[in-house]
A and B are shown apart, each in its own frame.
Chain A
Amino acid sequence: MTIPPASVRLFRLAVHLWLIVFLVVRIPVGAYLWVDPVSPTLPGNGFFSWATDAFDTWLPGEAVYVAVPLLLALAVRNLFRPARWYVGLPVWVLYTGLMHRAWLAGSGGQQLMGILLFWSIFIDERSLGPGSSFRHASSVLGVWAVRLQLLLVYAAAAAHKATGTAWWDGTAVGIVATDATYHLGGLAHLPWLCRAITWLLFAFMALFPVAVWWRPARRIALAAGLVFHTATAVFLDIPEMGTAFLVAYALWLDADEAAHFLRPFAQLRTVMK
Chain B
Amino acid sequence: MDSDASTARTPRWQRWIFIAALAHTLVLAAYVLPEAWVPVRARAWSQAYARPLWHQQWRLFAPDPRMTSAWVEVGLSDSAWRPLDAGFADDPAMHRMAGSIARYVEDELDRGLPTPSPAIMQAMRAMVPDIVRDAPHVRFRLVRDRAVDPHHPERRERTITYLDEAP
Contact = CB atoms under 8 A, between A and B. Distances in A.
A255 B8 CA distance: 10
B126 A1 contact: no
B62 A161 contact: yes
B110 interface: no
B64 A112 contact: no
A216 B87 CA distance: 48
Interface in B134-167: 145, 147, 150-151, 153-154, 156
A2 B9 CA distance: 5
Interface string A1-40: 1111110000000000000000001101100110011111
A163 interface: yes
Contact of B10 (A2, A26, A162): A2
A178 B4 CA distance: 48
* Interface magnitude class on chain A: 35 or more
B80 interface: no
Is the contact region of chain A dominated by helix, strand, or loop, or is it mixed?
helix
A20 to B, nearest CB: 16
A33 B69 CA distance: 24
Contacts of B93: 25-26, 29, 33, 102, 105
Interface stretch (A55-63, A140-148, A223-231): A140-148
Contacts of A132: 11, 13-14
A111 B56 contact: yes
Interface in A117-153: 118, 128-130, 132, 136-137, 140-141, 144-145, 147-149, 151-153
* Interface magnitude class on chain B: 35 or more
A48 B59 CA distance: 25
Nearest to A118: B53
A32 B126 contact: yes
A132 B15 CA distance: 12
Contacts of B28: 149, 152
Given A39-B123, A237-B92, A256-B4, 13 more contacts: A2-B10, A5-B6, A5-B7, A29-B93, A32-B127, A118-B53, A130-B8, A151-B25, A152-B29, A153-B56, A163-B34, A165-B63, A167-B62
Interface of B: 1-4, 6-11, 13-14, 17-18, 20-22, 24-25, 28-29, 32-34, 36-37, 51-67, 69, 71, 88, 91-97, 99-101, 119-120, 122-123, 126-127, 145, 147, 150-151, 153-154, 156
